[in-house]
Amino acid sequence: MIQIIPAIDILEGKCVRLEQGDYRMKKVYNADPLEVAIRFQDIGITRLHMVDLDGARSSHVINWGVLEKLSSRTSLKIDYGGGIKTEGDLRIIFDSGASMATIGSIAITDKELFHSWMFTYGPEKIILGADVRDQMIAISGWQKVTDIEIVPFLSEYKENGVKYVLCTDISRDGMLLGASFDLYKMIREHFPVLHILASGGIASVADIEKLDRMGVYGAIIGKAYYEGRISLNDLKIFTHK
């Protein structure tokens, strides 16, 4: 069964959502991320995806204090992404209670460092972030689109032991247009053993169910929940199947 992984995006310490990664298009949903996290935990959710938007923009981890608060006051298994550029950043988030780290830009800009982290921490601790626009990899908080295509990119890292991939279709993120089913279908066909976490555009329970039927490992739920398209009761169904 597909894993439901709510996203908490942190900007200036608050729970927000952006549209297509545009910092000018932000909406604050809750000033207290812990309150949001506890709601998820109370219905049986066990995992959380936390995004440090300040960190992604600044290229170093900033909101580790929020992570520490959530990890110490809930039992959620938190994966943390945004601004992880150095060994020091990685140590900070693991010391602050993160169970996993989502690494995107470094996998492009410093492959040797990424591979060293995989070797040191293992594939159960490192999630490869693959953010795409028109099947091309984007980095630096989605502010730069590279000339690297998604399939060759994943192929290289699969051969080097990556197990988890968080793939976000930037064009759909925060737009509530539905998940990028063709993209995930293609990735599943090429890499059936990879654990794919689908992110971007999920707008309804039907989207989650379709991803589940496709064999996608996890669904990152964001704006659809915050805008009331998907309720806590809807998500609770997936935690009790």
Q: Catalytic residue among 89, 131, 207, 212, which?
A: 131
Q: Is 9 annotated in the active site?
A: yes
Which residues, at least 6 apart from 88, have a Cβ–Cβ distance to it below 8 Å?
Answer: none
198, β-bridge pairs = 167, 219
SS3 91: helix
Amino acid in position 30: N
- Structure tokens, 93: 């988030």
Give the start-end residues of each E strand in the chain. Answer: 3-11, 14-19, 22-30, 47-52, 77-81, 100-103, 126-133, 136-139, 144-149, 164-169, 195-199, 218-221
Q: Is 110 annotated in the active site?
A: no
SS3 204: coil
CA distances from 199 to 88, 94, 238 (A): 27, 23, 17
- Structure tokens, 79: 């994966």
> Which residues belong to the active site?
9, 131
